[in-house]
Structure 1
Amino acid sequence: MKEAVNQSTDPGIERLCKKRERFIAAPTSDGIERIEAQFYGNMFSPHRHDTYALGITMQGVQTFNYRGEFRASNPGNVIILHPDELHDGGAGTDDGLQYRMLYIEPALLRSGLDRESDPLPFVGEPVINDRVLWAILASVLGELESDVDPLLRDQFVADIAQRLSQHARAPLKQPRFNAADRMDQVRAFLEDNFDRPVQSNELEQIAGMDRFRLIRHFRARFGTTPYRYLMMRRLQKARALMALGQPLAGIAAETGFSDQSHFNRHFRQTYGVSPGRWASLLGQNAH
């Protein structure tokens, strides 16, 4: 994994770069997360989320590898990354990068579609120029220090679902029959039991189908597998504890990971940086 790298060897510039590198995490809300990142060099190693990641580049050039190709986004563009798609991230120039991202759970995005049974939209091009979608994202990414108004939240979920559907080259594939209610029950069970080992036979009893069929249906409805979904709930809880300043040593056990190494490995795979690096960049925002 590559940590943030300052391109210049001038000590004064290096100190300035380090001082300005930061993450800002907005107050959490059901189904969405909002962050701002500002850094230099190659920050994020390859990783994947279980959410849609929608971003606006504010300053600099945002570079990343996605679906086998190198991509770049300039200010004014919108970035669209789909659940479970591997990607990395960095600043494309020596001037550094500043951007804001909205992470929205597939279940919440689905609620904004015309019909909740519709397939999740898949947008083939991850960097687009859509002033309407940019304005929608800016409306909820403009003030990270405050909560999102409930009515605004419902509005932008519906608006985002509509715009993504318009850009979608093809919907995500759906299984031949609808098991939405049972998959919703599986998801609720994972939410309630994220901090303990969950067995496949438990999920089979809830869904009334074998584990492999269950995985296919769950992925079609939520864009990821039950295992990945469970891991993300643990990591979200871990990030919340990190934001409160709790020591990393105790977070692994509190969030259901078998040990510190297990926690560190999954954190890197999901966010592209180590837990210590993430915590340090969050801490810089407090100064």
Structure 2
Amino acid sequence: MVPQREVSAWRPRVPGVVEVFHAHFTEYAYPMHVHDAWTLLIVDAGAVRYDLDRHEHGTPHDSVSLLPPHVPHNGSPVTPYGFRKRVLYLDLSRLDETYIGPAVDTPDLVDPVLRRRVGQLHTALAHPGDELEAESRLTLIGERLRGHLRPGARAGKGSGKGAGKGTGTRTRTRTGDDLSHRSYQAADRPLAHRLRELLDERLVQGVNLEEAARLLHAHPAHLVRAFSGAFGIAPHQYLMARRVDLARRLLLDGRVPGEVAAETGFYDQSHLTRHFKRLVGVAPGRYRVSAGMARRGRRGRS
């Protein structure tokens, strides 16, 4: 079977929607990465398995998967035929951080009504001039998602894998800032958060480990262990994932990969291409072309 990597991406004129991303992959597997936006995912063909907060999940029939921002996840096809998916990336104006913890517990929502509504939203987003319809549908989807995630909504069903076993080895907060395990010292938690803040501040210019250790008054190895223990991803993986997210936004605006590489902290275009292809599945140039084709196709239907 010839590997398939087909993508289409664009940014609609709908408040709160950061990106629309459609893809068909067969053999491609996403490595661990993070987004700064919510990932609202439906699978139209095949199935995806993924790890979120160190627990395995999948995409059962008629489900909608909601992956929270800042929480590392990966993804791979379940069968040799791969999967076809449609994704919306939503900013925190649509769903705030108080829902991150519940989404980590139950990211896959088996709800045929919600699944149908998300599909209808994608149809509306593909047609210029239907922004009011899209925004209306997104508002109702947000309301239904909050209904699934609010405290007590899933009472009696447990709070995720490992819940109710009484092991005392796993804890979560409901804010999303501390989705951690007790595999590291509790005193390391503030240090891990300070390093994340530093990486966010230095997203483009970057910071080396020695400088970070000096600024945060910690040993370099201690920094890496604290961050990896708190967030389930190494500092360099976090930084590259955030840079690729930024590159995606600029490419959707029509910027060329060479310029984007310089403006997002990559050494050169080949450096951007290597990390972009690893995290998105296609090279930045191909991603940019697909975005342009999507825009022209929607104008042709208007």
TM, length-normalised to structure 1: 0.64
CA RMSD of aligned residues (A): 4.7
CA-to-aligned-CA distance 1:50-72 (integer Å, 9 cap, x gap) = 24855223x3x2334656xx997
Provide the residue aligned with 2:288 in structure 1.
279
In 2, the alpha carbon distance for the partners of 1:165 and 1:256 equals 42
- Code of the residue aligned with 2:295 in structure 1: it is A
Superposition pairs of residues 92-111 of structure 1, within 5 angstroms: 97-102=84-89, 111=98
In 2, the alpha carbon distance for the partners of 1:110 and 1:4 equals 32
Shift of 1:286: 0.5
Choose from 259, 272, 275 the match for 1:263: 272
- Code of the residue aligned with 2:31 in structure 1: it is H
Distance 1:44-1:78 versus aligned 2 partners, 3 A rule: same
Provide the residue aligned with 2:181 in structure 1.
173
TM, length-normalised to structure 2: 0.62
How many residues get paired? 255
Provide the residue aligned with 1:130 in structure 2.
110
Choose from 237, 241, 244 the match for 1:235: 244
Shift of 1:248: 1.2
Distance 1:224-1:153 versus aligned 2 partners, 3 A rule: farther
Distance 1:154-1:34 versus aligned 2 partners, 3 A rule: farther
Alpha carbons 1:22, 1:282 under 8 Å: kept:
yes
Distance 1:218-1:212 versus aligned 2 partners, 3 A rule: same
Distance 1:237-1:73 versus aligned 2 partners, 3 A rule: closer
> What is the SS of the residue equivalent to 1:166?
coil
Distance 1:253-1:24 versus aligned 2 partners, 3 A rule: closer
Alpha carbons 1:218, 1:224 under 8 Å: kept:
yes
Confirm or deny that 1:88 pairs with 2:76. Answer: yes
Provide the residue aligned with 1:56 in structure 2.
42
In 2, the alpha carbon distance for the partners of 1:53 and 1:193 equals 24
Distance 1:54-1:286 versus aligned 2 partners, 3 A rule: closer
Q: Relative to structure 2, which stretch is displaced further, 271-280 or 200-209?
A: 200-209
- Code of the residue aligned with 1:215 in structure 2: it is V
Alpha carbons 2:277, 2:283 under 8 Å: kept:
yes
In 2, the alpha carbon distance for the partners of 1:213 and 1:133 equals 47
Gapped runs of 5+ residues in structure 2? 126-130, 164-169, 171-179, 297-302
Q: Percent identity?
A: 20
Gapped runs of 5+ residues in structure 1? 6-20
